[in-house]
Amino acid sequence: MLNYTVQRLIQALVAIFGVLTIVFVIMHLSGDPTLLLVPQDASAEMIAELRHQLGFDRPIWVQYIDYLHGLTQLDFGMSVVQRVPALDIVASRLPYTIQLAAGALMVAIGIGIPSGIIMATMRGSAIERILAAIVVTGQSVPTFLSAILLIFIFGVTLRWLPTSGASELRAMIMPSIALGALSMSTFARMSRIAIIDELGKDYVRAGLARGLSLGQTVFRHVLRNASIPVITIAALEIGNLLAGAVIIETVFAWPGIGQLAIQSIQSRDFLVVQVIVLLISFVYVLTSVLADLVYVVVDPRIRLVR
């Protein structure tokens, strides 16, 4: 297992390096921040001068090597827009993203998995149909629409919840729901399918024949076996929640890294974008490695081999 973990981490490093390089090249090929920084009446010489001062007039491979050299010393560089270390900027935003992702995950798992269980065990009932409708809604309403609808209903009309910002805990409710809705649907569908799949197996029939109720069978035996595909989804969803909050964070003025990513890309603040890319790819890789390890714990039949 140790071997396996080490191997996965090496693969992960290669993947992250690849992503960094691709993003670096694309960002640099599509222009540099100088044009966006200068006042509009700047002359060509002024722009060239500032570009030179900021070092964007050097060949791209020189900038790349320079960047890598910094990375080896854990120097992630300075933001050209804010003139503070890029790492500090991202680090200051990260807690908000984690907070929001946690809230969304609570909505997704807390509602999604019980719904999946109910839909699988009470097939054909009215409650299944109602839940199915909710799941489809969560999956098909685009977040920018649901977010604005939530603000309009609960913020402006009913005045129950604050319309934007992250200054109080209550402000987390609407963005968590808006962001968690899609994941919630995924969890509900996946757990429903996984449970239905398990319910057809022999050990369930044996359990029922021994006199266990359906509920007992599901909670004692089925859930554990059905959890493998759900864990896989959870690993992917955590990555999505951390990286995919761009729209939600913008609409709710939630100061996480999704919003920061958009602003930094628009202003061509290369080094901030690089830190975010590094972070997100790291999270993706880490969660998928963790999921692999959790499999073994949950289901002893799975062995990790080289």
Partner 1 sequence: MKPGLAFIASLALALMASTAIAQTKETLTIDLPNDVATLDPHLQWNTDSYTVYRNIFDNLLTRDSGGKIVPQIATEWTYENDTTITFKIRADVTFQDGSKLTAEDVAFSINRIIDPALKSPQLSQFDQIATAEVVDPTTVKVTTKSPYPALLAQLVKLSIVPKAYVEKVGDQDFNLHPVGSGPYKMADWKKGIQTELEAYDNYWRGEPPFEKVVFRAVPDVSTRIADLKTGKADLIRDVPPDQASTIESDSTKLLTGETERVGYLYLNAEAGPTKDVRVRQAIAYAIDKQGLVDALLEGYGKPINVVGAEPIFGYTEAVEGYPYDPQKAAELVKAAGAEGATVEFLTSPSYPRALVEAIQQMVNEVGLNVTISSSDQATFLKRRQGDAENAGGMAFGAWSCACQDADGIIFPLFRSGSIWAKYKNEKYDALVDQARAILDEGKRKELYTQAYEVLREDVPGLGLYQVYALYGAAKNLQWTPSANEAMFVMDMSWQH
Q: Which residues bind partner 1 (CB under 8 A)?
A: 30-33, 35-44, 46-47, 49-50, 53-54, 81-84, 89, 92-93, 148, 151-152, 155-156, 159, 162-166, 250-253, 255, 259-260, 263, 266, 268
β partners of residue 85: 78
The Cα 233–Cα 108 span in angstroms is 11
The residue (of 31 and 215) whose beta carbon lies closer to partner 1 is 31
Residue 237, both tokens: 């969803």
The Cα 110–Cα 254 span in angstroms is 22
The residue (of 100 and 117) whose beta carbon lies closer to partner 1 is 100
The Cα 129–Cα 119 span in angstroms is 8
- Least separation in angstroms between CB 161 and partner 1: 10
The residue (of 111 and 248) whose beta carbon lies closer to partner 1 is 248
The residue (of 49 and 197) whose beta carbon lies closer to partner 1 is 49
- Least separation in angstroms between CB 265 and partner 1: 8
- Least separation in angstroms between CB 130 and partner 1: 30
- Least separation in angstroms between CB 32 and partner 1: 8
Radius of gyration of the chain (CA): 24
β partners of residue 78: 85
- Least separation in angstroms between CB 253 and partner 1: 4
Q: How far is CA 27 from CA 31, 32, 79, 125, 243, in A?
A: 7, 8, 14, 53, 18
